[in-house]
Amino acid sequence: MRGRPKAARRSTFTLDDVREIAKRNEKDASKIKKKAVSLEAISTKPVLDEIKQENRVLGAASLADILGYDPGSKTPREDEEKKVPKKHLRYYRLLIQLREHVNSELSLHTEDTLKRSSKEDSGDLSAYSQHVADAGTDTFDRDFALSLVSNEQEALHEVEEAINRIRTGTYGICELTGRPISKERLLAVPFARYSVESQAQVEKTTRRNVQRGGIFADATAEDGAQFAQSDPDD
């Protein structure tokens, strides 16, 4: 005899099974949605960047925009003045003004001299007198311009040296005697190295050196002045 057929297994779902399946389906749907959103963002981002324009608000131009600098800000000169001792500030400002003036004059005379020289090189003598009697005057004018440049360069050097002495704390001290130079002399000649008495002695010694020549010809003014203090010819 054949055996009795086995009863078919009944497939049933519990409530927990249903909830588990629903949860898995919900997770899968969420992943698919996120991928779709990311793909959409990638595909639309360049378009949005191209369409998006920056909203610029143009205001009225300020004084600093017009001038190219802020007039309210401190200049390098003002910052430099902070480092100058109060007792020397007046002389410092005089030296700065003098330096600006000398630089201006130096540029003017140098430009004029170069123009004259370039015309000579090109053969253009229209700026010069054609009369023989005036030739000496033209030569003198040019030499005079050159001498002005030389003198102004020396003056500029003395002014710069005086400014450096203010910075190093040796301004207003006679380089020959080591004594203070009077305020009156510093106001008259802000770049003075010597007191009035020492300056007179230096100039006297310089003239004597030129007249005598010899060992004094190469001596400095200070050395000569110190030597002259014990010279029996005085």
Report which of residues 12 and 205 the model is more confident about. 205
Residue 18 falls inside a structural domain = no
- Mean predicted confidence (pLDDT) in 18-38: 68
Q: Residue 198 — φ and ψ, nearest 5°?
A: -70, -35
Q: How confident is the model at residue 132 (pLDDT cuts 50, 70, 90)?
A: very low
Q: Which amino acid is at 64?
A: A
Residue 36 falls inside a structural domain = no
Q: How confident is the model at residue 48 (pLDDT cuts 50, 70, 90)?
A: very low
Q: How far lies 136's CA from each of 18, 29, 116, in Å?
A: 123, 108, 15
Entry field: residues in the chain:
234
Q: How far lies 126's CA from each of 131, 132, 168, in Å?
A: 12, 14, 52
Q: How confident is the model at residue 137 (pLDDT cuts 50, 70, 90)?
A: very low
The DSSP 8-state label assigned to residue 215 in this structure reads G
> Does the pLDDT value for residue 156 go beyond 80?
yes
Q: 69-116 pLDDT, tens per residue? A: 555 555 667 788 889 999 999 999 999 998 998 888 878 877 777 776
Q: How confident is the model at residue 208 (pLDDT cuts 50, 70, 90)?
A: confident
Do 149 and 83 lie in one domain? The reply is yes
Q: Which amino acid is at 186?
A: L
Q: What is the mean pLDDT of the chain?
A: 71
Do 132 and 189 lie in one domain? The reply is no
Q: How many domains does the chain have?
A: 2
> Does the pLDDT value for residue 191 go beyond 60?
yes
Do 159 and 72 lie in one domain? The reply is yes
Per the DSSP assignment, residues forming a β-bridge with 173 are 180
Do 132 and 218 lie in one domain? The reply is no
Cα separation, 34 vs 38, whole angstroms: 6
Do 162 and 91 lie in one domain? The reply is yes
> Does the pLDDT value for residue 227 go beyond 50?
no
Say which range, 30-39, 124-133, 166-175, has the weakest mean pLDDT: 124-133
Residue 51 falls inside a structural domain = no
* Four-point Cα dihedral 47, 51, 56, 57, nearest 10: -140
Distance of CA 141 to the CA centre of its chain: 36
> Does the pLDDT value for residue 40 go beyond 80?
no
Do 86 and 153 lie in one domain? The reply is yes
Among 142, 171, 200, which residue terminates a domain?
171
**Domain of 112?**
67-171
Residue 166 falls inside a structural domain = yes
Among 149, 171, 193, which residue terminates a domain?
171
Do 180 and 96 lie in one domain? The reply is no
Say which range, 126-140, 170-184, 185-199, has the weakest mean pLDDT: 126-140
> Does the pLDDT value for residue 47 go beyond 80?
no
Do 129 and 211 lie in one domain? The reply is no
Do 115 and 205 lie in one domain? The reply is no
Residue 88 falls inside a structural domain = yes
